[in-house]
A and B are shown apart, each in its own frame.
Chain A
Amino acid sequence: MKALAHSNLISIRDLSAEEIDLIFTTADNFKEVINRPIKKVPSLRDTTIANLFFESSTRTRLSFELAEKRLSADVVNFSASGSSVSKGETLIDTVRNILAMKVDMVVMRHPDAGACQFLARHVSCPIVNAGDGAHEHPTQALLDAFSIREKMGSVQGKRVAIFGDILHSRVALSNIFCLKALGAEVMLCGPATLMPRGIEELGVGVTHQVREALAWCDVANVLRIQLERQQTRYFPSLREYTQAFGINRKLLDEIKKEIVIMHPGPINRGVELSSDVADSGRSIILQQVENGVAIRMAVLYLLATRPQLIE
């Protein structure tokens, strides 16, 4: 396995375990690169990448931009606010216009699930999904699994519990696909109102008891409560959510083993995760962020250098 089969990264489901492994071994090399005094390599100096963010993002966008710059690619950024999108231009027109300016690759975040899939049918350049609605966020899942592999040696056979708002979370869905593909066991834990019906069919366990999930797992991936998506009341109050589903030092001390704490950020401190846990030695939250750049470099590099691109 030396190349990716698809020219886009839209869903983790498009990747085989071997392809994920290829991305990981490539990311190992890029992680070494970004820890050098000169943190960049000239690989993609002939490539122009457009970051199209139709939905706000700080970390993912910065991470992609740094990854692109450390590969020496030329980067253009686009955000929906203050652009022609607010004048009523369609998605395809927007992207075709950008591609007409000789852009080679597109990284896109969009509030609608399936936007990247739709775009891939109409334009020919490689597309990387940086999050589409509540559907998928493949690079986040890859960097999460990469961080587990780095911390624990491998992902195979590990027990990973995902806590919080599963219903609105593209991170949860991509994580499930990625972890299952790599042979991990997955359990979801959250309020029944934030648990999609029928999610068990993906081969994951479901519980509503935090203690049960913590006692079971090796790794706890705690998702953010998306306050912006809570117009409908899924739980009575944040305080009540924290009492029932928040993870704190006391809960972790009750179980008699060390578990690894992850969070895709941004953290609501004191809501889903208490500060003493987020800042403890068990937490690999900042390693996740560092690995994010390496993983995105690997994905962009592998897509840009696929042999099929040779004309």
Chain B
Amino acid sequence: MPHKKTHKSIKDLQRRIAVYEDEAAYKELFFLLFQSLTHFAEGILQSKENAEEIVSDVFISIWNDRAKLNQIDDLKLYIFVAVKNNAVRKARQLNKDATISLDSINVEVDSLYQSPEERMLSTETVTKIETAINNLPNKARLILKLAKEDRMKYKDIASLLNISVKTVDNQLAIALKKLATAISEPLRKKK
């Protein structure tokens, strides 16, 4: 699975930013993570503008602290955690009564993409999977997004969301079982 490649290239970008103050590397890192992070923050804040603002601020602090960047073990996880903390703080600021729990983080998962050359699944199957993803509980959908779209390891998801690796393992198994079941069932709306 393609985890390793992304991981390695982030390490490389991190080094180029820290050592060479390389703007091209900074831009590449921004391009690589900005959308993922904004979707994640939007799940917490329920506002795209606020989410973009938070992520942009985190990227500014990454540049400002570039000299120390090499000391960070896992930059991607570090940025996700920073975005989470800032988004939760912002959400509390905007709505004093807001309780931010794992179950209240409502992320949207990108519509499924099939490259034209590799189109193996019927539109109907894709629609079934997408519908099933949208019907997942918030927590399961969030974990699915982090594992699938952001290619995060179990232990990183666990540490980002303050849950156990076992919970990640269970939630993902339940989610995938639901998606598989949806594929063999007729579409719900047709029932």
Chain B binds chain A: no
